[in-house]
Chains A and B, each alone.
Chain A
């Protein structure tokens, strides 16, 4: 069991003034309560981030709770469709589907204690909770008592209009919304804040590992270290384009020997994952240098080791909320090839920390180029790590959430 991480431990990776600033900022909202609500305790970037936030907020003197909504399989099928539609995929919704969504939100609103000073609701699944809370709305300022904020982690730059119209009726009841990128902002009658998500440099997924630890982990996972490794870590989700990654690898392999490792694991709220995984297994069949690893959601240590062992990190998404695996790879000093989508373009500085690509061919070309130019790859990795230190670490994220609390509570 790893030891608990404390705020002062972060002085090892960020300037000491950053931690002092966090503590003083927290002083302005000390004792004011914060509640996060999302749809899963494990799996996916949101759950992972929340698991890191909670103890740090506590240490800063902000009482924080993290609640998870529950629902039947039908509810999660509907929210997956909603998720896909909001990311631009054509989906059909029946009145029964929307009713099931609302009913599950109603049940959860009755079960959960949604009475904190600031309530942050993550993503579309629990967005309608606000409709069913017993606290009366106060005109002009949103909710009476607590301030409610909807935190959107997905790419809503080109949503299916019907899906957005359905969700929008709930979002407009909030006191504010948070998006990960300016291009996700919508026409809404409420403040829309920009907060990048972040990685935790001291977590199991990102902490330093020795070469021996990395080697032993790859041996255990059955991934030989005899060839350069291209790695994509993502849910088995069509928007992450795992088939496109296999096709890019095949183009590389015509000229340069390498391995491809695809790592993922379906999350609780992702019923489509198994189907996509089957397609990926089919596409990889017959090639011993393609490794498909389905790891449990808590396999952070293994992911860490794989990222450190990789020569190139790939995140070839076609739609992406933010794509924190890019920052994870950069933190490990690796060049990253990412799809030109969502927050990937915000993390990759073209030609400096990696490359963004728009096709299988583009991905293959950049991978070959990096394999042939290891000094450049190493320099990109160095730039990437420093860029992440400045912009994408949890300390900055915490500070912005505290600033949001200060603003919402007028503290």
Chain B
């Protein structure tokens, strides 16, 4: 049952990142491990998620900065691949993500006689980012308006609503809004999407396809 009209309209929010360097570097994989242990949550978000906000045109090998660094700068492709497969969207709590990254590196180091380090490449620079939210002009009181909003908002709004569940405002959760609207079918399909396997443009296309199908749009 649709509850359109009885629920607060959904407000799209775009965002921008202000990047901050933490002044900490890792020259080898043990230092990377230690850095991940100590890094603030914003740093883990930055290094595992915000690639999607930063990169549209030419991609790094992996969306996870730790994995890219291991593969490219340390030339330890095995660790790169093992870190790349850790999906940050599998973890509701950033501390669980931290624990998983640590255990992957720890296990990898345990299997090696020496600690792989940067030889001619660049060290890993720990960073973090602040997410500055900017209300978009789009609002949605119906599924049709939600679909239209998705189609025209800045890519950063797709990022804010679908890639940053921990740092966005609580009322900016589109799945919760869809559930409140009684569109549990759409909410379930959105919930089942895999942001880490998509670019922002790809994610937008998938979301539009879900809405079009739910709205019975011809060709969907």
User: Which positions in A face B, CB cutoff 8 Å?
Assistant: 15, 17-18, 20-21, 24-25, 28, 179, 182-183, 185-188, 191-195, 345, 349, 352, 383, 386-387, 389-390, 399-400, 402-404, 406-407
Contacts and interface: CB of A to CB of B under 8 A. Distances in A.
A403 B23 contact: no
Interface string B108-150: 0000000000000011010100101011110000000000000
Contacts of A17: 14, 152-155
The range of chain B's interface size is 20 to 34
Given A182-B125, A407-B130, A194 B135 contact: no
Contacts of A188: 23
Q: Which 8 A-B pairs have the closest CB atoms?
A: A182-B125, A17-B154, A185-B21, A194-B19, A403-B18, A390-B57, A403-B132, A192-B21
Nearest to A408: B18
B56 interface: yes
A183 B123 CA distance: 8
B23 A186 contact: yes
A193 B19 contact: yes
Interface in B30-53: none
A25 B134 contact: yes
Contacts of A15: 154
Given A25-B132, A185-B21, A386 B127 contact: no
A256 B23 CA distance: 46
Contacts of B16: 21, 25, 399-400, 402-403
Q: Is the interface of A mostly helix, strand, loop or mixed?
A: helix
Contacts of A389: 57
A349 B56 CA distance: 14
22 contacts: A21-B134, A24-B14, A25-B16, A28-B134, A182-B125, A183-B123, A183-B125, A187-B23, A188-B23, A191-B20, A193-B21, A194-B21, A195-B19, A349-B58, A386-B58, A390-B55, A402-B16, A403-B16, A403-B130, A407-B18, A407-B130, A407-B132
Given A185-B22, A387-B57, 16 more contacts: A17-B14, A17-B153, A17-B154, A18-B154, A20-B154, A24-B135, A183-B123, A185-B21, A186-B23, A192-B21, A194-B20, A349-B58, A387-B58, A402-B16, A407-B130, A407-B132
A404 B57 CA distance: 25
B156 interface: yes
A390 B134 contact: no
A185 B23 contact: yes
A194 B46 CA distance: 13
A26 to B, nearest CB: 10
Contacts of A352: 58
A295 to B, nearest CB: 32
Contacts of A349: 58
A21 B156 contact: yes
Nearest to B18: A403
Contacts of B123: 183
Contact of B18 (A182, A383, A400): A400
A283 B22 CA distance: 44
A56 B153 CA distance: 23
A406 B135 CA distance: 14
Contacts of B154: 15, 17-18, 20-21
A400 B58 CA distance: 21
A238 B85 CA distance: 46
